[in-house]
Structure 1
C-alpha cells in the first residue's frame, strides 16, 4: 500500500488488508452551510460491491447531512490512520433503512470489530458507493 492512489476496481491486497484490521475511523459529511462535520465511526468495506458501511442512529447529524443532499446521495469520505499508514475511501452516501441491509452492516461490523453492536431499533446504515481510494503505508 505504498502508493497514494488505488484503483477502486482493483485495490492492492495490503490496502484491503488494512481495511480489515480493527481501526477507529472518521466519517466526513457536509453541513448545509458546506462546512465539514467529522465524527468517529466504525467502517466496513466490501471490495466485491465497492460499498463502505457505517451503522448509526437514524437521528444522528451524519444521517441528516446525507439525507439533506437528496436522492443522488451526499459526497462523503471515511478515513483511518495507524501511525504513518492511512487510507481514505470517498464516494456517494445514501441512508438505507431496509432491515436486511442493516443486518448485513451489523454482521460486517461484528466481523471487523470483534463485537456485536448493541440492539438499536433506530439503527440505519449509511452506505457509501466508493469512487476513489487513497492511502499510504
Structure 2
C-alpha cells in the first residue's frame, strides 16, 4: 500500500518511532544490492530518513559511488506489519547533520551512540513510502 509522503497516517509514523532495526539497501558499483541492518530515523516533515554510519563502511562507499545520489530503500518488518521508505541518499559529513542524526537516533532508540570521530550521516531524500501497519 502506497503512503502519501505529504500526509502519512499516524500508525505509519508510530511504526517508524518504535524500536526496530530496519535494513538499508544500497546499490554496489556493479549494480547488485547490498543489504545491511541499521538504526534509522524518519523525519516526515523534512521528508528525510537518516542513518548514522562509519565513513569507512561499505554502505557509505556505495552511496559515495553515485555522485548524484544513490537510490536506496529502508525497510522494517514486525510480524505482519512492514514499512519501506525509498529515496536518494547522500553522505553528510558536516557537524550539524551528524548531530541531528544522533539526536534523532537517541530519541528513537533510547540511547546515545558511542562517540565516533569517523561518523557520518546518510541522509535520504524520500521519494516514496509504502507499507501495511
Partner residue in 2 for 1:73: 69
How far off is 1:56 after superposition?
0.3
How far off is 1:11 after superposition?
0.8
Q: How many residues align?
A: 133
The separation in 1 between residues aligned to 2:69 and 2:31, in whole angstroms, is: 15
1:16 to 13, 16, 32: 13
The separation in 2 between residues aligned to 1:125 and 1:67, in whole angstroms, is: 12
Structure 2 residue 56 is the aligned partner of structure 1 residue 59: yes
- Summarize the alignment of residues 1-137 of structure 1 with structure 2, pairs less than 5 Å apart: 4-70=1-67, 72-137=68-133
- TM superposition outliers: structure 1 runs of 4+ over 4 Å: none
The separation in 2 between residues aligned to 1:134 and 1:6, in whole angstroms, is: 5
Match of 1:126, SS? strand
Structure 2: stretches of 5+ with no match in the other structure = none
Structure 1: stretches of 5+ with no match in the other structure = none
How far off is 1:81 after superposition?
0.5
The separation in 1 between residues aligned to 2:30 and 2:122, in whole angstroms, is: 21
The separation in 1 between residues aligned to 2:132 and 2:11, in whole angstroms, is: 10
